[in-house]
Amino acid sequence: MSVPSPTVWRVSSPVARQLAFDELETPLRETTFVVVDLETTGGSAEQDAITEIGAVKVRGGEVIGELATLIDPGRGIPPAIVEITGITNAMVVGAPRIERVLPSFLEFAAGSVLVAHNAGFDVGFLRRAAAQCDLAWPRLPVLCTVKLARRVLTRDEAPSVKLSALAALFQASTTPTHRALDDARATVDVLHGLLERVGNQGVHSFTELVDYLPNVSAGQRAKRFLASSLPRSPGVYLFRGPGDEVLYIGTAVDLQRRVRNYFTGSETRGRMKEMVALAERVDHVACAHSLEAGVRELRLLMAHAPPYNRRSKFPKRAWWISLTTEAFPRLSITREPAAVALGPFGSRTAAADVAATLAELCGVRTCTTRISRRGTHNCPREVVGGCAAAGRHDAAEYSAGPATVAGLINGNDDGPLLTLRTEIDQLARAERFETAARRRDRAAHVLRALRRCQRLRAVAAIDELVAAKPAVGGGWEIAVVRAGRLAGAGVARAGVAPMPVIEALVAAAETVLPQGTPLRGALPEEVGLIARWLSEPGVRIVTTTDGYCEPARGAGSWMSWCELAESAARGAGYDEIAR
């Protein structure tokens, strides 16, 4: 016996362009909605199954298509459900299974906003069915008429938001009957009635409708106009207060969309709501791409230190581990790095922990005794938790320790790391797991610090590097980097030869005068942004004055071991780091 396919009725209507949903101002009258209703064997998407689907496609107030079919759930329908829906076991005999129906429905709903009354229920069943059928669930926007009704209607006007009550309120042309197509048709009339109400409140686009749903204060919503003049492009935005002071700085791929979010219910942070209440204006700096936006944000944060930003306001306040210049050098933690230094660290505590491990690994003293060049270091060995370079050493003997630290930081000597790894393996095999765990975790922290420092130094060491990344939609995002700083940024649009654009950017790029610090004067966070961007898929080096290189015996070659160690710290076990 042949299996029937879903029944689809198509109704002719004027052709209208279906706008993409990344367009903020998609008018509601041009938005395609697919209103769907399901009947099921019960209330659990995990345990029950769909017995009927009904869907109505509408645009501009007109019905342009319908889909409806019974579905064989592959199991018996409970009597209580039969009493509610009227769908019996006999009615679904010979009906198509969900495997046949769901692809047709997904094709029917493609490119639309999915609407349902109590959408969590219907969409939950559909998503579960898609997973069971091994079908990818499309990223369709979802609108729930229950939530919309609760937002639009008062309790006096609508004590209940059941479909039957709302259908009566809006005088729907179809009475809900607990059958899928009837209920979907009734929901269409409810949707149109609700959209008329929000239209009277200045909601005319789909995105405005999404923004309207959360219950935000009138003052917060009243400031949405601050975003209206912003471009739909990457950049940095600056909220300014009554005295033209900068309150907050942020970046966005789409400036208008990001700033609009501050005036909707999607913004839940108390500090940001307070900031929005104070804001009088939003300025912006247009940028070629996300890398330029990130760098400009860092520089603006340093210049303005806005009160509502919490991170990156003081990029020069990082901590560094350096060797002192005395006859018996020690590791010191400072704001200003020496020529050979490890960092940056976000906190003094983090730097101190790594410094203690380095001192122990390399035999560098941790005592603070002043020792002349002709003197002798002589801290006792038997003191628990004493000096890391305990024992009697003259200056020549002691110099091996600081030299090892410098070699480790510069990536010229990984001997201490090899020794530490061997010690951890021996402790694990001896079942001294707690001690091994402490050593492992300390080693991983040191490796991460070394890796970050060596990677940033490798970028900052290049006098000039020009790189390009494929842009979304075609073309190239271009960056000119000089001594760890972004000196120029631009875009070669699709169809435009990139080399003339690159040559013009290089010619107009900022002149950079390197300094003698480990990062040649560049801000660590800026170099970090550039390093991450250079590592993104598809990025190509166009030209460079110096080849990018990291030390052969640096931390980069230890990352596999480090990742295993970190995995073990999360509970994978010691056997993984012993291999």
Answer yes or no: is 570 within a domain. Answer: no
Q: What is the 3-state secondary structure (H, E, C) of 37-93?
A: EEEECCCCCCCCCEEEEEEEEEECCEEEEEEEEECCCCCCCCHHHHHHHCCCCHHHC
Q: How far, in Å, CA of 434 to CA of 249, rounded?
A: 45
Write down the pLDDT at residue 371: 84
| Residue 549 phi, psi dihedral angles, 5° rounding | -150, 145
Q: What tens digit of pLDDT does each residue of 189-237 get? A: 999 999 998 887 767 888 778 777 766 666 777 788 898 899 999 999 9
Tokens of 413: 């000597």
Give the span between the Cα atoms of 236 and 312, in whole angstroms: 14
pLDDT for residue 504 is more than 70 = yes
pLDDT of residue 204: 81
- Domain co-membership, 63 together with 38: yes
Q: What are phi and psi of 52, to 5 degrees?
A: -160, 145
| Residue 578 scores a pLDDT above 70 | no
Residue 54, CB-side half-sphere exposure with 13 Å CA sphere: 17
Residue 574 located in a structural domain: no
Whether residue 567 is contained in a domain is answered as no
d(CA 366, CA 513): 37
Q: Which run of H or of E encompasses 437?
A: helix 433-460
Decide if 524 is inside a domain: yes
The partner residues of 63 in beta bridges, in order of sequence, read: 58
Q: Are residues 322 and 303 in the same domain?
A: no
What number is the average pLDDT over the span 483-496?
96
Q: Is residue 561 part of a domain?
A: no
Please identify, among 208, 239, 263, the residue that sits at the C-terminal boundary of a domain.
208
Q: Are residues 308 and 329 in the same domain?
A: no
Q: What is the bridge-based pairing of β-strands 32-40 and 476-482?
A: unpaired
Q: What was the pLDDT predicted at 316?
A: 74
519-559 tens-digit pLDDT: 999 999 999 999 999 999 999 999 999 888 999 999 999 99
- pLDDT-derived band at 10 (thresholds 50, 70, 90) equals very low
Conformational region of residue 483, where left means phi above 0, alpha means psi within -120 to 50, and beta covers everything else = left
**pLDDT by residue (tens digit) across 229-278?**
999 999 999 999 999 999 999 999 999 989 988 887 666 677 888 899 89
Give yes or no: residues 364 and 443 share one domain: yes
Q: What pTM did the predictor assign? A: 0.68
What is the end-to-end Cα distance of the chain in Å, rounded? 60
Q: What is the CATH number of the domain that holds 265?
A: 3.40.1440.10
Query: For residues 187 and 393, which has the higher predicted lDDT (pLDDT)?
Result: 187
Q: Over the stretch 92-110, which tens digit does the pLDDT of each residue have?
A: 999 999 999 999 999 999 9
Domain that holds residue 11: 7-208
Looking at per-residue confidence, does 13 or 357 come out higher?
357
The CATH number assigned to the domain holding 193 equals 3.30.420.10
Q: Quick check: is 445 in a domain?
A: yes
Same-domain status, 293 and 415: no
Specify whether 178 is catalytic: yes
Instruction: Report how many domains make up the chain.
Output: 4
What pLDDT shows up at residue 7? 53
- Tell me: do 241 and 202 sit in the same domain: no
Looking from the CA of 22 toward its CB, the CA atoms found within 13 Å total 5
Local structure of residue 2 (DSSP, 8 states): P
Report, as an integer, the average pLDDT of 389-407: 87
In a shared domain, residues 434 and 471: no
400's tokens: 């091996």
Residue-level pLDDT at 228: 87
In a domain, 1, yes or no: no
- Is 221 found in the same domain as 276? yes
Q: 47 and 191 share a domain? A: yes
CA–CA gap between residue 34 and residue 468 (Å, rounded): 42
Q: What is the model's pLDDT at position 26? A: 74
pLDDT of residue 16: 37
With 60 as the cut, is the pLDDT of residue 49 above it? yes
- pLDDT higher than threshold 70 for residue 17: no
Catalytic residue among 178, 204, 304, 445: 178
Whether 552 is covered by a domain: the verdict is no
The per-residue pLDDT for range 432-478, each reduced to its tens digit, is: 989 999 999 999 999 999 999 999 999 999 999 999 999 998 999 99
